[in-house]
């Protein structure tokens, strides 16, 4: 579903996805029964057999199972399956429009897929049925491309907000940092290199520092899976290097997924690379194997070389 609520108000009877001005040659939208299913009929829980089947023998942390989504008839993602293993550092690459951001949107609950499920193997819940903050509570955190730290708050306050366990109003009113939590904040600030800037207002940080602070805020929530969207866009060379170090230091304990265009950067951090193309997984493997893959070369270097 497109996130814009206004466009859903005048949904045509013909399909689940409203088209403001449907192009004459656009493919017919899917029949209504499917959209009905999306909200009411789909099970909120996923059968353990199916989970076992998808996971295989791997120590998976997050599975995207056969997900498809289309916007106004455009298939952004088609039958995509992706299994993230515990503690790995995965890079997602692919040309523009390959579905990288849509995939992130689906995992974090911003976009609801037309079909397919997303789940964590130890948990039967279907993540596509949960709200964004519920998914965040499960330990799946996303860092957006543009840093969106709380500009009016100090670095420390930003961390404090991120660290609070129960996010309810009542708890916020009486929240006090424990000694452990203070130590935790110190540790994270050290890790992201902002220890000296604890009392600085986040709005006054340099671009790269804001990105690190945001990663730090995600770390404060102790995520199991960290999704990072184009972390080095707009960074200086030095900042890029530090970011690579930071991301590498995070993997192992957590699963880190990085979406990135910059192949040099990908090469400097990646253990395993997944190439998306037209909403499908085109190739998966080590950076060298992927770069040698003829289909990947075709997609990246030219559309159809005949």
Partner 1 sequence: MNAEPAVGLKALHTKRGWLALGAAALVFVVLVPVLSLGFPASSPLHLPDYLIALLGKFLCYSIVALAIDLIWGFTGILSLGHGVFFALGGYAMGMYLMLSIGAQGVYKSALPDFMVFLDWKELPWFWKGFDNLSVALVAALVVPGLLAFAFGYFAFRSRIRGVYFSIITQALTYALMLLFFRNETGFGGNNGLTDFKSLYGYDLHQPSTKVALYVMSAVALLLTYLLCRYIVTSNAGRVLRAIRDAESRAMFVGFNPTNYKLFAWTLSAVLCGLAGALYVPQVGIINPSEMQPANSIEMGIWVAVGGRATLFGAILGAFLVNGMRSFFTAAMPNAWLYILGALFIAVTLFFPDGVAGALGRLKRKT
Which residues sit at the interface with partner 1, rule CB under 8 A? 5, 108, 132-133, 136-137, 141-142, 144, 148-157, 160-162, 164, 167-169, 172-177, 182, 196, 198-199, 217, 221
Which tokens in the block code for residue 152?
Answer: 């009016």
| CB of residue 233 to partner 1, shortest distance in Å | 18
- If the CB atoms of residues 39 and 133 are measured against partner 1, the closer one turns out to be 133
- If the CB atoms of residues 172 and 236 are measured against partner 1, the closer one turns out to be 172
Helices 207-220 and 237-250 cross at an angle (nearest 10°) of 10
CB 271 within 8 A of CB 251: yes
- DSSP 8-state symbol, 196: G
- If the CB atoms of residues 71 and 150 are measured against partner 1, the closer one turns out to be 150
| CB of residue 219 to partner 1, shortest distance in Å | 12
| CB of residue 71 to partner 1, shortest distance in Å | 20
Radius of gyration of the chain, Cα coordinates, nearest whole angstrom? 21
- If the CB atoms of residues 159 and 244 are measured against partner 1, the closer one turns out to be 159
* C-alpha atoms less than 13 angstroms from C-alpha of 174 in its C-beta half-sphere: 2
| CB of residue 141 to partner 1, shortest distance in Å | 8
Rounded to 5°, angle at Cα 230 from 297 and 1 = 90
CB 95 within 8 A of CB 39: no
CB 16 within 8 A of CB 32: yes
| CB of residue 215 to partner 1, shortest distance in Å | 13
- If the CB atoms of residues 5 and 294 are measured against partner 1, the closer one turns out to be 5
Which tokens in the block code for residue 48?
Answer: 């353990």
């Amino acid at each position: 579903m497109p996130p814009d609520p206004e466009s859903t108000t005048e949904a045509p009877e013909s399909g689940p996805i409203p088209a403001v001005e449907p192009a004459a040659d656009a493919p017919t939208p899917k029949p209504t029964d499917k959209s009905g299913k999306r909200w009411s009929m789909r099970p909120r829980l996923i059968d353990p057999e199916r989970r076992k089947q998808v996971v295989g023998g791997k120590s998976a942390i997050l599975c995207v199972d056969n997900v498809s989504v289309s916007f106004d008839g455009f298939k952004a993602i088609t039958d995509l399956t992706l299994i993230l293993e515990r503690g790995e550092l995965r890079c997602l690459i692919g040309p523009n429009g390959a579905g990288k951001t849509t995939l992130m949107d689906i995992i974090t609950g911003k976009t609801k897929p037309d079909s397919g499920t997303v789940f964590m193997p130890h948990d039967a819940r279907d993540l596509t049925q949960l709200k964004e903050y519920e998914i965040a509570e499960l330990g799946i955190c996303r860092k957006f491309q543009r840093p969106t730290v709380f500009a009016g708050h100090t670095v420390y306050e930003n961390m404090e907000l991120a660290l609070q366990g129960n996010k309810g109003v009542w708890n916020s009113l009486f929240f006090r940092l424990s000694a452990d939590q203070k130590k935790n904040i110190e540790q994270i600030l050290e890790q992201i290199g902002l220890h000296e800037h604890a009392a600085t207002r986040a709005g006054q940080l340099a671009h790269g520092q804001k990105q690190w602070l945001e990663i730090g805020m995600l770390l404060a929530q102790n995520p199991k899976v960290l999704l990072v969207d184009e972390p080095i866009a707009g960074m200086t060379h030095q900042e890029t290097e530090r970011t690579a170090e930071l991301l590498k230091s995070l993997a192992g304990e957590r699963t880190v997924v990085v979406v990135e265009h910059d192949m040099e950067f990908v090469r400097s951090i990646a253990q395993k690379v997944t190439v998306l193309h037209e909403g499908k997984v085109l190739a998966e493997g080590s950076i060298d194997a992927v770069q040698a893959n003829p289909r990947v070369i075709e997609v990246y270097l030219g559309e159809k070389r005949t």
